[in-house]
Chains A and B, each alone.
Chain A
Amino acid sequence: MKRIKKIWHWVDDRSGYSDYVLPLMKHIVPRDARWWYVFGSATLTAFFVQVLTGICLAMVYVPGGDEAYMSLKYITDTAFMGGVIRGMHYYGASAMVMLTVMHMMQVYLHATYKYPREMNWMSGVVLMMVVLGMAFSGQLLRWDDNGVWSVMVASEMAARVPFIGSWLSHFIFGGETVGGSTLTRFYVFHVFIMPSIIFAGIGLHMVLLLRHGVSEMPNPEQPVDPATYREEYEARLKKTGVPFWPDAMWRDVVFSTFVVMAILLCAIFFGAPSLSTAPNPSNIHSNPMPDWYFWWYFTILSTLPSSLETWIILGSPVLGFLILLLVPFFSNKGHRAPSKRPWSVGIIVFGVTSFVLLTIYGYYKPWSPDFGVKPLPESVIGATEGPVFEGGNLVYKKGCLYCHHIDGHGGHRGPVLSNIGQKLTRQDLTIRIMNGGYNMPSFAGSMSTEDLSHIVDFLLTRKEEGSSEPTQ
């Protein structure tokens, strides 16, 4: 025992643990820093999960044209614990994105970005952008057909940058097309460059946290006055503060345990995300979709008016980043309490509601043609022969059902046609089909008079029972 103590004293003396590390662990934090404050440390824990599972995956993953897909198939289907490790990396990414955003919302809601913690916020904003970059590049490393076409979409977006767009795009591809050099580039971004930035950013974030101290819960009676804030904060801390270790840290550990358990359980019970087909850029049966945390952006891109599209694609990430980064400079003093800052509560509520609605909309993506539609059953057509029957079959053959919904069948891109017979006349329908309309192609060049007549005959039967004829 005496010998162990002696060895520890030597290690402690030479490493400076008691002089440097212990005081950091035991630095005084406000007593009221409770469950609201656990999101930052949980984000860090999720990052560690990503680093450790990422190292495991990198031991087998081969960042090459065909090999990446094959090595991921091997990890998922054959390697011992491979599916769990890949699943943990996948759900860990979702957890990290969610926790980063939750941490940021808490900081915004409590106005912790105000004096003197402006730079804490700014370093956090940069970290959040890199985390989103990690999430996106990670999706591409899955390198199935979805990964290949996601790169294509990313480089098409980059190509819209004025003057240097095509250069940027070819930089992303690592050439003129998606290919062998594309994956290695994203591998380097995902495994070397962005994690290095995150490590450095976390270091800065921690240093700033220790320099300015953990903020107190907002108090409506204590608005921030830069002239007196530091002295008042120190005085209150001296009076009521507690050491971070272990008085405050136990909550962080409890919440982080919950997060890690959730990641593990998801990996075990839901498994790693399935891989689609091999990354063949000539496969036209691919239907690229981003991971769920980008569905809101997918929805925005899909529903924008064309005239605004390039502006939004290029401008919104830059503008969003700048606005977030500069939040402390819009107001770095005054009230922190949400009760005194109702607009901040409104912004959070609006942001969360928009995110949820756009995400749901992105999941259903009603703007896309439904390529999986089946022919209408006879029970829906309402006839077994004659023009109406022919028309009912033609709405499938001529692709109407890809976009239009009829009595529970078909896509959602265009108007529902279940009751079209009571809204439009034969003449209206003929003109609409032949000439097209808003977001509808013209079929004048691809439909015979007989087919058109049958389709119109069928559509005129689409009406509620007992409804009247449309006015001629």
Chain B
Amino acid sequence: MNPESQAESSGCGACEQCDQRRSFLTKLTLGLSGLIGAIMVLPGVAFILGPVVKKKKEIWRPIGSLDDFKIDEDFTLVTYEDPSPVPWSGVTAQSGAWVRRISDSEFKAFSITCRHLGCPVRWLSGPELFMCPCHGGVYYKDGTVAAGPPPEPLHTMQIRVVKGEVEIKTIPVPLTTTPLKESDV
């Protein structure tokens, strides 16, 4: 039985009043369905996108005492807690950087993230190069690209010394082709 004959048999014919009522009920149903959907979805979307729009924190983390870094020694791998760990992060909250002390107060530090596609670069003291195992990116000791596909130099990180303690300024993962904020550089 089609809807029209159904309507006729139930005593509700195609009168103008019935059409208006149906039109209203259609709009009401669609409108309320949209509202239900919005109530269900929007808080969830905001929750999921929270980490994207959250204001980034600038945090200095200690990486050792000044005496731990001898002047003109090799690059040392230092580890520190990332800028925004969650309580259940465990070992995944660790980040790393290559650090070298150049003078009494001057340091050179690079993120371990390759600027090609983000794999961890290794410092090789013999050839004095940073090398990436994934796609063969190579960098000189000043962080500039020596060979391979990286489009940009290694990301330089900030170091400061406070009361004999060496601290590194944590940064978000350096994303290739997306410049970091001025304050992170």
Residues of chain A touching chain B, judged by Cβ–Cβ distance below 8 Å, are 64-67, 148-149, 152-153, 155-157, 159-160, 165-167, 169-171, 173-183, 278-288, 301-302, 304, 306, 309-310, 367-369, 371, 396-400, 402, 413, 436, 439-443, 445-446
Contact = CB atoms under 8 A, between A and B. Distances in A.
B73 to A, nearest CB: 16
A372 to B, nearest CB: 10
B92 A179 contact: yes
Given A159-B177, A171-B51, A368-B134, A180 B117 contact: no
Interface stretch (B22-30, B138-146, B153-161): B138-146
Given A66-B90, A176-B173, 9 more contacts: A153-B119, A173-B51, A179-B93, A278-B91, A282-B96, A288-B134, A371-B122, A439-B147, A441-B146
B112 to A, nearest CB: 5
B146 A177 contact: no
B133 A281 contact: no
Nearest to A283: B120
A64 B85 CA distance: 12
Contact of A282 (B112, B116, B177): B112
Given A160-B176, A165-B178, A170-B172, A301 B112 contact: no
Interface string B112-142: 1100111111101011110101111010110
A309 B119 CA distance: 16
Given A155-B175, A176-B173, A369-B131, A65 B119 contact: no
9 contacts: A65-B92, A171-B51, A173-B51, A175-B84, A282-B95, A284-B96, A402-B124, A441-B140, A445-B140
Contacts of B88: 64-65, 67, 180
Contact of A160 (B82, B92, B177): B177
Contacts of B94: 280-282
B91 A149 contact: no
B149 interface: yes
Contacts of A166: 175, 178
Nearest to B112: A284
Contact of B51 (A181, A278, A440): A181
Contacts of A153: 117-119, 134
Contacts of B148: 439
Interface residues of B, number: 56
Given A65-B91, A173-B51, A181-B86, A156 B118 contact: yes
Contact of A443 (B82, B127, B177): B127
A445 B128 CA distance: 9
Q: Is the interface of B mostly helix, strand, loop or mixed?
A: loop
Given A152-B173, A173-B173, A180 B120 contact: no
B42 interface: no
B92 A281 contact: yes
Contact of B82 (A177, A183, A285, A441): A177
A239 to B, nearest CB: 34
Contact of B92 (A182, A368, A369, A371): A182
A443 B91 CA distance: 37
Given A166-B175, A170-B51, A399-B126, A180 B147 contact: no
B64 interface: no
A413 B132 CA distance: 12
B176 A286 contact: no
Contacts of A309: 149, 151
A400 B77 CA distance: 23
Contacts of A283: 96, 120
A462 B91 CA distance: 48
Nearest to B96: A282
B77 to A, nearest CB: 6
Given A282-B79, A441-B138, A169 B122 contact: no
Contacts of B178: 159, 165-166, 169
A360 B20 CA distance: 69
B179 to A, nearest CB: 9
A282 B63 CA distance: 13
A156 B117 contact: yes
B56 interface: yes
A446 B121 contact: no
A156 B77 contact: no
Nearest to A399: B127
Contact of A180 (B49, B89, B116, B177): B89
B52 interface: yes
B118 A436 contact: no
Interface centre among A65, A165, A177 (most CB of B within 10 A): A177
Nearest 4 A/B pairs, CB to CB: A66-B90, A282-B96, A399-B127, A65-B90
Interface in B158-176: 172-173, 175-176
B83 interface: yes
A419 to B, nearest CB: 23
Contacts of A159: 175-178
A287 B133 contact: yes
Interface centre among B82, B87, B96 (most CB of A within 10 A): B82
A275 to B, nearest CB: 14
Interface centre among A170, A304, A442 (most CB of B within 10 A): A170
Contacts of B51: 170-171, 173-176, 181
